[in-house]
Amino acid sequence: MKTQILSFKTYDDHKLWNKLKAGDEKSFSLLFEKYYGDLINYGNSFSPFAEKVQDCVQDVFADIWLYRESLQEPNVVKAYLLSSVRKRIARLYERDHVFRKITTTDSIEFLFDFSVEYELIDDEATAESVLYLNKLLNDLPARQKEALFLRYNQGLSVDQIAEMLEVNYQSASNLLHRGLLTLRREWKGSFSVIVLLSSGVF
Amino acid sequence: MQKRNYYIEIEDFLSDESFRTWVLTKVDEHGWEEWTLENQQRAKMVENARFLLLAMKVPNTTISSTDLNAALQSTWIKIEEKSNLNKSSANNLSAKYLNKFWLSAAAAILFFASVSVWFYHNQFMTKNAVVTYEELIEDTNEGLVEQTNNSNKPQIITLSDGSSVLLQPNSKLSYPKIFNGNERKVYLSGEGFFEISKNPEKPFIVYANEIITKVVGTSFRVKAYSDQPNVEVLVRTGKVRVSSNELIVDSKKVKEVILLPNEALRFFRSNSSFNKITNITEDKTLVSTVGNIEQLSFEFTDIPVEQIFKTIEQAYLVDIDFPKAKLKDCHLTTSLSDQPLSEKLKIICKSIGDDTSFEMNGNQIIITSEGCN
């Protein structure tokens, strides 16, 4: 079974990055293979056009190679890649919509929906709670959802999330906190009884 | 692992990799189970964190190594193109001042152009959210060949990749002479039945009015007459993805529909909505328009070659000329359902014998053979 890896090997990435900078094509390919899937998934949560997303991700890599000599080494390579993909899609989106309604930087919206790990649920009460939680999660504002996704599914730190979403540390932390707070409040209200009955651990 | 004794929030658990591993893979290297049971307050928190984690699944869509390779390949092509672009712009550096002048001129022209596009666009968006074949063709700059069927019976077109299209009367298809790049794009007005030769690296894309149909290798029918209110796609074999062309809808609203064999989709042009039809036999209009080719079976078990050729003649409305006497006693067992015409002929000829070949000239097919093995 494949684990969803939260922390990633920073050392390896930096080694790859430095070799890439020195013009090593093999390292470039390795980095590409390592993160392409994740980046496509992330990109797809902003745009239903799979092809354009592929284009954007490939452009990000192409630019890294072309401008490798002048690039600063990022603290966390994965965070840098995710953020570059996000920026590129935002730019594309703006360009396509120049004469339409919105042109702000957060004009792209995180359309992704979390799903439920059904294989790991074996009783009905759990299923019910998890399903309800899942609905609450997916009903959160897009930015809160994205912050949660970046923090807990992609393993970015609050700092990195702040940078990606172009807000300060406090706002990023608030995004995460508020998301979970809403969940907890809603959840307690309607589920304490069921949880109490089913788990018996109170 | 002692830091967990100080966990007070669900967040603390969620960001602990060892906790996640335990919940999501049931691998309990750090004795979470035991630790949880030590304390009731703790058990409740763990339970909540676990529920939340279970509700936060991210679909793990892995990309196949072929796709990954193709992606890497096209990235290198992009790099090539971009670096060529950079070089050529560097050469122009000497004309910097002139450039500056041109730049402002260009900016002014761009501004006017944009404004007119905007006016046009507004008009276009509000009154007429319809995309026509002509507009689609205009948008491309890939020298296309256009074939129109003005006759009263279907016409077969064989594309450079071996795919075949059975074009219905009053329909036209535009396609490049040779498919370059990493996609095979064609443009349809009217109705056509497509049998696509398999090539996972080069998806085949049909642009028809407002919708885009994308496949890797399969057979399906697209019906998109400019004067009819609906666009239809019906799948016979394989898997097909249909999405609306972004020319008409906000990219946020576009959704992709996946069709499997014997599923169909109807797109209502008036409000740009999709209707997926999972049981095509219940849909009267679809059933009544099923063509020959879709009804005929291409599964042959010990069938005379003559019979097989007859089936193909009926399906594709072609004439097949073959040495009747020499092939009199030849029987074949073969499955040709999922193949375009040229592929079908290739398989038949190969099965008959080494000295059998075919030649295609429009609707005329000539088989030369010295008899079967």
Query: Considering only CB atoms, which chain B residues are within 8 Å of A48?
Result: 243, 251-252, 254-256
What are the CA-CA distances from residue A64 to residues A68, A199, B134 (Å)?
A: 5, 51, 39
Residue A178's CB: how many other CB atoms inside 10 A? 15
pLDDT one-digit tens code per residue, B83-141: 877 665 555 444 444 444 555 555 555 555 444 444 444 444 433 456 677 777 776 66
Residue B88's CB: how many other CB atoms inside 10 A? 9
pLDDT one-digit tens code per residue, B72-93: 988 988 888 888 776 655 554 4
Q: Which of A50, A56, A94, A55 is nearest to B212 (CA)?
A: A50
- B372 or B110: whose pLDDT is higher? B372
Q: For residue A81, what pLDDT is reported? A: 92
What are the CA-CA distances from residue B101 to residues B48, B89, B95, B108 (Å)?
A: 65, 16, 10, 11
Tell me the residues of chain A between 47 and 66 that have a Cβ less than 8 Å away from chain B: 47-50, 54, 57-59, 61-63, 65-66
Q: What is the mean pLDDT of chain B?
A: 78
Helix (H) or strand (E) holding A190: helix A169-199
- A11 or B150: whose pLDDT is higher? B150
Residue to mutate among B47, B75, B126, B272, with most A CBs inside 10 A, is B75
For A118-199, the fitting CATH number among 3.30.499.10, 1.10.10.10, 3.40.1190.10, 2.40.110.20 is: 1.10.10.10
d(CA B134, CA B224): 13
Averaged pLDDT, B156-175 = 88
Q: Band the pLDDT of B347: cuts 50, 70, 90.
A: confident
Q: Which of B25, B62, B83 sits opposite A66 (nearest CB)?
A: B83
d(CA A87, CA A141): 20
Residue B137's CB: how many other CB atoms inside 10 A? 15
Confirm or reject contact between A144 and chain B (CB < 8 A).
Answer: no
Averaged pLDDT, B345-359 = 87
B344/chain A closest Cα distance in angstroms: 31
Cβ density class B33-71: b for 16+ within 10 Å, e for less: eebbeeeeebbbbbbbbbbbbbbbbbeeeebeeebbebb
Block residue for tokens 């073959």: B322
Cβ density class B264-293: b for 16+ within 10 Å, e for less: bbbbebeebebeebeeeeebeebeeeeeeb
Averaged pLDDT, B299-321 = 86
Residue to mutate among A58, A94, A114, A128, with most B CBs inside 10 A, is A58
What are the CA-CA distances from residue A59 to residues A83, B87, B90, B166, B330 (Å)?
A: 13, 18, 21, 38, 56
Helix, strand, or coil here: B227?
coil
Q: For residue A9, what pLDDT is reported? A: 47
Averaged pLDDT, B236-242 = 81
Residue B200's CB: how many other CB atoms inside 10 A? 11
Domains of chain B: 2-54 (no CATH), 65-127 (no CATH), 133-292 (2.60.120.1440), 296-368 (3.55.50.30)
Largest Cα separation within chain B, whole Å, is 90
Q: For residue B10, what pLDDT is reported? A: 81
d(CA B234, CA B220): 6
A15's tokens: 């080694």
Taking the CA atoms of residue B36, residue B40, residue B46 and residue B49 in that order, the dihedral angle to the nearest 10 degrees is 180
Q: Which of A45, A19, A42 is nearest to A31 (CA)?
A: A19
Indicate whether B218 pLDDT > 80: no
Q: Which long-range contacts (CB under 8 A, 24 or more apart) does B143-148 make?
A: B143/B176, B143/B177, B144/B174, B144/B175, B144/B176, B144/B187, B145/B174, B145/B175, B145/B176, B145/B177, B146/B172, B146/B173, B146/B174, B147/B172, B147/B173, B147/B174, B147/B175, B148/B172
Task: Decide: B164 and B156 in contact? Cβ < 8 Å.
Answer: yes
Query: Considering only CB atoms, which chain B residues are within 8 Å of A192?
Result: none
Fill in the amino acid letter for B189. S
Domain A10-107 has CATH 1.10.600.10: no
Block residue for tokens 């390949």: B73
Give the contacts of B260 (CB within 8 A, at least 6 positions apart): B235, B239
Query: Considering only CB atoms, which chain B residues are within 8 Å of A199?
Result: 43-44, 47
Q: In sequence order, what DSSP letters do the residues of A62-111 get, joined into one string? A: HHHHHTTTTPPPPSSHHHHHHHHHHHHHHHHHHHHTTTSS--SGGGS---
Provide the pairing of β-strand B264-268 with B256-259: unpaired
Query: Considering only CB atoms, which chain A residues are within 8 Å of B53?
Result: 117, 152
Residue A110, class by beta-carbon neighbours within 10 Å (0-12 exposed, 13-18 middle, 19+ buried)?
buried
Domains of chain A by residue range: 10-107, 118-199
CA A36 to chain CA centroid, nearest Å: 14
Query: Considering only CB atoms, which chain A residues are within 8 Å of B28?
Result: none
Q: For residue A153, what pLDDT is reported? A: 85
Residue ranges in chain A whose pLDDT is less than 70: 1-11, 95-107, 188-202
B370/chain A closest Cα distance in angstroms: 49
Q: For residue A36, what pLDDT is reported? A: 92
Tell me the residues of chain A between 100 and 119 that have a Cβ less than 8 Å away from chain B: 100, 109, 111, 114-117
Fill in the amino acid letter for A69. E
φ and ψ of B174, to 5 deg: -115, 135
Task: Decide: B286 and B234 in contact? Cβ < 8 Å.
Answer: yes
Contact A115 B60 (CB under 8 A): no
Query: Considering only CB atoms, which chain B residues are within 8 Å of A114?
Result: 55-58
Q: Which of B300, B319, B305, B306 is nearest to B359 (CA)?
A: B319
